[in-house]
Structure 1
Amino acid sequence: MSYFRHIAFAVSVASTAAMFYVGLYQSRLVGRLICPFLGQQCEGVADAPFARPFGIPDGYIGAALYIVIVGLLLAPPARWVWIALLILAAVATAANVLGLRDMINFGGYCFYCLTTAVLSPVLLYSIWKLG
């Protein structure tokens, strides 16, 4: 694996874990979110109406997106794989920008959502460099 593939893989795995944890809370399989630095703001954001597009916890949607990215990063390198990765990383970045906007309007912040938002441009750049 190349240097950028390692970075993209690490970012995707970390983002998968973060979003899956949020999804577990949103579906009440976890009773509380441990929220470093932000107290109970994580739970407020995870319970906000914007956190359930189409009635689906957005933590699970994000985790699924990052799992697909991880799977493609493990696939043999091919042009179509790179294009799919680039599109998915762009979608993840755009979704995180929208999530940031929603959190700003809501007035609360989620540590895990902020983490994936900060990491998403790193993921996009790393995948871009794979091409």
Structure 2
Amino acid sequence: MNMYRYIAFAMAAASAAAMLYVGLYQSRLVGRLICPIFGEGCEGVADASFARPFGIPDGYIGAVIYTVIIALLLAPPNRWVWTVLLVLSGAATLANVLGLRDMMIFGGYCFYCLTTALLSPVLLWSVWKLG
């Protein structure tokens, strides 16, 4: 694996873990979110109406997307894999930008959501560099 693949893998793995944790809280399999910096902001954001597109906890949606990205990063590289990686990384970045907007309007912030929002452009850049 080259350096960009390692970077992409690390960004996707950290983001998948963060979003899985949020999803577990959203479905109440975890009773409380430990929220560095923002106190109860994580729970407020995770419980907000915008955090359940189509009634599905967005933590799970994000975890699945990042897990698929990880699986594709482990697949033999080819143009099709790179294209799908690029589309998924771009979609994750766009979703995180929209999530930032929603949090700003809501007036509360989630440490885990902000973490994935900061990591997603790095993920997108590293996937781009794989092409």
TM-score range, shorter chain: over 0.9
Uncovered stretches (5+) of structure 2, i.e. residues with no partner: none
Task: For 1:91, give the aligned amino acid.
Answer: A
Distance 2:50 2:124 in 1: 24
* Aligned positions of 1:79-94 closer than 5 A: 79-94=79-94
Q: Alpha-carbon deviation of 1:88?
A: 0.4
**TM-score of the two chains, using structure 1 as the length reference:** 1.00
Q: Alpha-carbon deviation of 1:65?
A: 0.3
Tell me the equivalent position of 1:99.
99
* Aligned positions of 1:7-22 closer than 5 A: 7-22=7-22
Tell me the equivalent position of 2:28.
28
Aligned residues: 131
Identity of aligned residues (%): 76
Uncovered stretches (5+) of structure 1, i.e. residues with no partner: none
* Aligned positions of 1:38-57 closer than 5 A: 38-57=38-57
Where 1:33 maps in the other structure, the secondary structure is coil
Q: Alpha-carbon deviation of 1:46?
A: 0.2
Where 1:124 maps in the other structure, the secondary structure is helix
Tell me the equivalent position of 1:69.
69
Distance 1:11 1:124 in 2: 9
Where 2:81 maps in the other structure, the secondary structure is helix
Q: Alpha-carbon deviation of 1:19?
A: 0.1
Distance 2:41 2:59 in 1: 15
Where 1:10 maps in the other structure, the secondary structure is helix
Distance 1:84 1:53 in 2: 22
**TM-score of the two chains, using structure 2 as the length reference:** 1.00
Tell me the equivalent position of 1:60.
60
Distance 1:77 1:41 in 2: 40
Distance 1:30 1:103 in 2: 22
